[in-house]
Structure 1
Amino acid sequence: MSMDKIPTELDYYHDMWKLQSTATLLSHYKGDDGRHVLILDRTIFYPQGGGQPADTGFLHFQGLNLKFLVNDVRSKDGIVLHYGVFEGLGGEFEDILERGKEVSLFVDEHRRKLNSRLHSAGHLLDICLPKIGLGHLEPGKAYHFSDGPWVEYKGVIPQNEMQNKQKELEQEANALISMGGKVSADILLYDEAAKLCGGILPEYVPKESTPRIVRLGDNPGCPCGGTHVVDISDITKIKVSQIRSKKGMTKVFYNVES
């Protein structure tokens, strides 16, 4: 297997709060859209997925006065692709970007923290549903982008209960935020992971796998590959703006406030 086909080591997977690190350049090329693509042996940059947007930031090449602005990150077949542009680069770059070059990585802190707050808030809403009598709703899709985050569930809420449940959900979520609680992410054996997630894991998690389980405080965990806050209190405040139930699905729209 060639070096640039080896899956990227996901450093953010093990340390969600690391914003600076080093890596080794494996390969680079220019995409059809004109953007450069860099492949590293490891990364702290989160690639877009799971309803969470990608990190942005920049890379600096050791020994070279060269900066690479990362404006998008994607994952394909386990390989993380860092898309962006070189700052102040004139002429060709192939001769100076050698395989094995050491690279320093810097993730945009403000964007990472906001995305982590939005993502964590979505999980917190999942935790709160049984507490307000909506345990029958099964988690589905989620969108944790800042332009209008939401979480969707299989199941409905009667129309006459909608307004009260919206208020209860927001109050319960903010009550948990005020109490706080450490957030953790651990890679576990399937059976151990299932115990921390209420005794069962979603069908998409293979039984022979070792899923990464994220827990917000002492609440039940869930399999998740995204980034999250250090403590539940870091979410600060949740505003549940709307709940809609239609065609057997319920969608909860929310945001995080300072």
Structure 2
Amino acid sequence: MSRKLYYEDAYLKSFTAAVVEHGVEENGTPYVVLDQTAFYPVGGGQPCDLGTINGVAVVDVEEVDDRILHRLAAPLPDGNVISAELDWSRRRDLMQQHTGQHILSAAFEDLFAAETVGFHLGREVTTIDLTVAELTQEMVEQAEAVANRIIFENRPIEARFVTAEELAAMPLRKPPTVTENVRIVSVQDFDYSPCGGTHFAHTGEVGPIKVLSWSKYKGNTRLELVCGWRTLQAMTDKQLILKNLSRQLTSSEADLPSNVERLLQEKKELDKQLQESKDKLLTTEAQEALQHAIVQDTLKIVALTLDGRTIPELQKLGQHITAQEPNAIALLVTSGDKTQLVFARGAQVPVKMNELLKETLPLIEGKGGGNPDTAQGGGSANVATADVLQHALELLQAKLTLV
């Protein structure tokens, strides 16, 4: 087994080592195993470290069968001794997020008996899953306050392997998942947790903690949070958003919520007026279409090709046509990336529209459905819409002769 330097010194940025194994995986990725390493392998919710070995990029680190594989962007030059550099900016960020998660999780458990049952350290945010069904803004602010107080007090953090006797005497926040080589990360007089990740020596190095959002997740609550430099970046991003909104709305930041609410209400009213106008236009369009309808016995057939219309728009037009004339049939076809059809009938029409659509769709290799009154579908645009419409019209007229 390789000597795990990241457990001995979490601040180690560079090291030398001997290559004890090298090879290429089945997917063609070269790798090396070293006699000692400061690269933390992926595990326990924490991503792996990255960096370089002899100038070659380390793209992944994973412990497999007690061997720590350093996967590389290219094979290493010949030689048994290597010099390695960690991407310290990445390591520091991961340590801030992971240590901060410990502190915030302990705060939630102390205040609300909410246990952490899930943890994921992502590129932008960290998530923790808490055993609490409902979480309020007040609860979040209380937990944040406790966590940040612990950080500002700059309490010592210790990470070490403990004996069974020591473990039995510790007030652990959660039981260890292993029975041997148990490593405990403790925040002085606040939290004791089994963990194999990398952590700082003092809480002050974590930087500020901020919960960004939370939502229900599988009976629990999932929190999104940031720590340290991520917190500062998140606050900068949000401040820029507020600044831009204030400028666009000529509003102070404090008045933004009320002004946005006013704009949303105005939009709601405008949407209502717009829909009323559209309905009036559809009524007029339906009236004009009926004036040019094909008359067959006592029925009126409106057969139209309409470019740039959506299925919902065709459905509404069909509804307007058949509402105005109970003896009307609407055959409406539109084209775009694919040909789309809507067939509708009035209350006095005997032909079922879903059956007519089913017989029309094979022409365009289409799919659709509906009921006897209204049916819709779509398919390939390889056939001209005029030809599709003519085909449907002929099928309809044949059916009418049989009624």
The separation in 2 between residues aligned to 1:169 and 1:112, in whole angstroms, is 26
Q: Deviations over 1:120-178 (max 9, x none)?
A: 0110112211342x12x22222112232211123x2243xx522111212222111111
1:105 maps to 84
2:105 maps to 126
- Matched AA of 1:204: T
Task: Report whether the alignment pairs 1:219 with 2:213.
Answer: no
Runs (4+) of structure 1 exceeding 6 A deviation are none
Q: Do the aligned residues in 2 keep the contact of 1:169 with 1:240 (CA within 8 Å)?
A: no
* Secondary structure of the corresponding residue to residue 221 of structure 1: strand
Where do 1:71-150 residues align within 5 Å?
71-86=59-74, 96-97=78-79, 101-132=80-111, 134-135=112-113, 137-150=114-127
Q: Deviations over 1:186-232 (max 9, x none)?
A: 11112312423x157526232xx231111123323111111112311
Q: Which runs of 5+ in 2 are unaligned?
A: 233-403
CA 1:191–1:215: 2 relative to 1, 3 Å:
same
Task: Report whether the alignment pairs 1:176 with 2:150.
Answer: yes
Q: Deviations over 1:44-77 (max 9, x none)?
A: 00011111111011112xxxxxx32112111112
Q: Do the aligned residues in 2 keep the contact of 1:23 with 1:42 (CA within 8 Å)?
A: yes
* Secondary structure of the corresponding residue to residue 60 of structure 2: strand
Q: Do the aligned residues in 2 keep the contact of 1:152 with 1:250 (CA within 8 Å)?
A: yes
CA RMSD, 1 decimal: 2.0
> When the two structures are superposed, what TM-score results if normalisation uses the length of structure 1?
0.81
2:267 maps to none
> When the two structures are superposed, what TM-score results if normalisation uses the length of structure 2?
0.53
Question: How much does 1:33 deviate?
Answer: 3.1
The separation in 1 between residues aligned to 2:218 and 2:28, in whole angstroms, is 43
Identity of counterpart residues, as a percentage?
A: 27
Q: Do the aligned residues in 1 keep the contact of 2:108 with 2:115 (CA within 8 Å)?
A: no
The separation in 2 between residues aligned to 1:48 and 1:203, in whole angstroms, is 18
The separation in 2 between residues aligned to 1:174 and 1:157, in whole angstroms, is 24
2:201 maps to 230
Q: Which runs of 5+ in 1 are unaligned?
A: 1-6, 61-66
Q: Which has the higher contact order (CA 8 A, sep 6+)?
A: 1
Work out which of the residue numbers 5, 11, 15 in structure 2 matches 1:11.
5
The structure in which a higher percent of residues are helix is 2
2:16 maps to 22
Aligned length: 229
CA 1:221–1:200: 2 relative to 1, 3 Å:
closer
Task: Report whether the alignment pairs 1:205 with 2:165.
Answer: no
The structure in which a higher percent of residues are strand is 1
